[in-house]
Structure 1
Amino acid sequence: MSLRLLQLLIVHKVLSHKALAPNKEHCKMIVISLDGFGATDLDIPGLKIPNIRGLEKDGLSAEYLKPVFSTLTFPNHWSMVTGAYEDQHGILDNFMWDPVLKKSFSMREPGDEFFQEAETIFGTANRSGIRTFTLNWPASDREVQGYYPTYWSPYDESVPYKERIDRLIQAMEEDDEIRLGMTYFEEPDKSAHFKGGPKSQDVKNAIEELDGLMGYLRKELHRIKGDVNLVVLSDHGLVPASLKDKGIYIPDYLTMPGSTSLIERISAFGAVTHIWPKDPARDSDLILKNLSDAKHMTCSKKEDLRDSWHYKSHRRVSPVVCVSDSEWMTYDNKERLKRHIVGWHGYDNEDIGMRAIFFAAGPQIARAGKPVKAFEMVHIYALMAHVIGIPEKQWPKNSASVNAVIPSDE
């Protein structure tokens, strides 16, 4: 008789941590990430997602999943698989500069050297003798502290969505020792960024197409031996944004004579702007004075950033940082105005529009009856590790906690 990860209690109680005893069963988990599926997208009029809602009916959902700041794709997917905040794992942005490595990071060409500051669940599983499979999960094709997932392939956006599911199912069917399978879909993020925008008909269509694929996935789970638990989640939501209508051209605010000569480099595109002075101790105040007239963004020294972001202590955060207000974007190259952008993310993780989704069902996941309280992205690691049977004493030092997903006082 299988142990239950989450145990249904009396009606006015939802979940109890007492159900989270060490998992001795041969339990498995599949995690599907739907990029940019915001919690507020669930309120799109007429949205029909019976298969994703079916997970809620058969298992549980969260009020929302809180992303880490900055609310971008690579940082949040990396927090899920490391259980670490950005100041711990060092992936702060989809594009960034490392002053020690003297290299730029790009999500298009992410070098292994940027990912070595936190162990992934793939590495933890490997050390524990547990096999894993990934397909297109951001950066899962990087070697981290000597480990890859057991089965992986280079990121390939051209792989059709249904094929991704088929390959995941086939791998777990053929190798019964795979306990964790993870894959990723670029939608509805692409539609919200570059087509109709957040909550548009394009986004609605993309979500409903994904829902059909989740239905197909659930029907195919019977092919995998053992208890299989399914998690469907996202990394962030999006809000309407436009460079043409709500763009902040950073060079306009660096016009004081000699001010541009004080700057080593600027990374300005989107919600967070990084400014690297040539001499931070001498020049940061002058640069901030230049920026003080800018509206719709808040600029500060890195040490004055919010503690709750778990962000400012990392060396890859520039000495001067500007965070745009929701729906506003910065840029430093007018060529970017040629791009058709109608939605964006990366903003304050307290922004309602940045909230992500979480749904789960399976033999180790009991019916909750109502959504559990919102929890942070880093705790996905704890949920995965527990279900696939990695004892907490074998986890690396991180911020993940099963108690955060299922509070003991519920």
Structure 2
Amino acid sequence: MYNVNKRKLFNWSPPRILVTGFALIILLGGLLLSLPISNTDGHYLRYLDAVFTATSATCVTGLVVVDTGTQFTTFGQIVLISLIQIGGLGFMTMATLIALVLRKRISLKERLILQEAMNQTNMEGIVRLIRKVIVYSLAIEATGALLFASRFAFDMPIGRAIYFGIWHSISMFNNAGFDLFGGFRSLTMYVGDPVVNITAMGLIILGGLGFVVMSDLIEYRKNKKLSLHSKIVLTMTSALLIVGTIIIFIFEFSNKQTLGSLDWDAKIWAAMFQSVTPRTAGANTIDIGVMRHATIFFMVILMFIGASPGSTGGGIKTTTFTTLIGAVIAMIRGKEDIVLFKYRLARERIFKALTITMLSLVLVIAVTMLLSATEDREFLRLLFEATSAFGTVGLSTGITPSLSDFGKIILCFTMFAGRLGPLTLAYALGPKAEKDLYRYPEGKIIIG
């Protein structure tokens, strides 16, 4: 019986193993966060709230139902930041790190799972990529921790500043958005601070670019070229950040509750930061809940697009969005192929982009409808919450802690689906794909 069960487990597909692995980490994390040793009041935290927090951390989202800075002890905060690191880099990446340290061989099955986890098209060089992921991540997080600690040292004792620096660097780089400042304030007290803004935005952007792109950039001096993937990611990321900054600045310029009361420097910093953070980061320097409806809806669009493949962020991804734009332009021009940077995209890439977008759209719509039926809140705020959970962003208009138990469970599932990706989840839960032995005759329908 044991051998039969072991054989069935070994035959699981990589998506199913990823889904199960993340689920087990969340359940274990929820158990640890619920213990009295993790909570400052010395009592058990309600398990649903603990699981919600563990899901938000493992899925690097940042939505919270309890105040992280005041609810959890140092032990609880360490559990939380560990979940963020595991969730951001992926539990298979962490398992590979342990295997490399112990000098164990990475099996073919493990390489397939790593390929799925890193969203790569083939296994070639996957272990080498994982080594780069670990080295780059630790180096970037260490730099961010040093910069944060240097700034925080002016506001708190040096030991606490170092701890806060390390903790927030990991949180920002992994696009989690959790903070320890208490009062659900995030980084609002540093709205015009250049050091905190530049450090946080740098960590968020680097974490959201993806490790393949970072590797390309680091090796550019040697290779003198960038891959098509890196060109698309860098171009679309830059465009979204610039457009986002301009639109948020215009929409909120006269809003006394957000940018209106700030000086010019702080206005620019705040507009830039709020343009960066919807790319799945979750931190904020102004109160999202008092923004104008136009700004909130625009941020919903940014959150839905999200970060880039193989990164610590969520959303449909910048490459998917670029492919859709390319398809629209090609159709308008009467072209058969989508051409980007003088490269033609394969049909399977286009179909995958359309599938991911439709599944994601259906998920966000379904979750928003369910929340609308159970929560007595404005529709736009519920849409914002649902999109934030799907995009593993973590931004909130302030309604998360007051959601019903059903609402919290729905958002837990949404964060889980958003982190793994709707397509991966569908592969994991659906039946094993079988190749068709025949093709039907082509039919014609009227479109448009």
TM-score w.r.t. the length of structure 2 is 0.27
The one of the two structures with greater contact order (alpha-carbon pairs below 8 A, sep at least 6) is 1
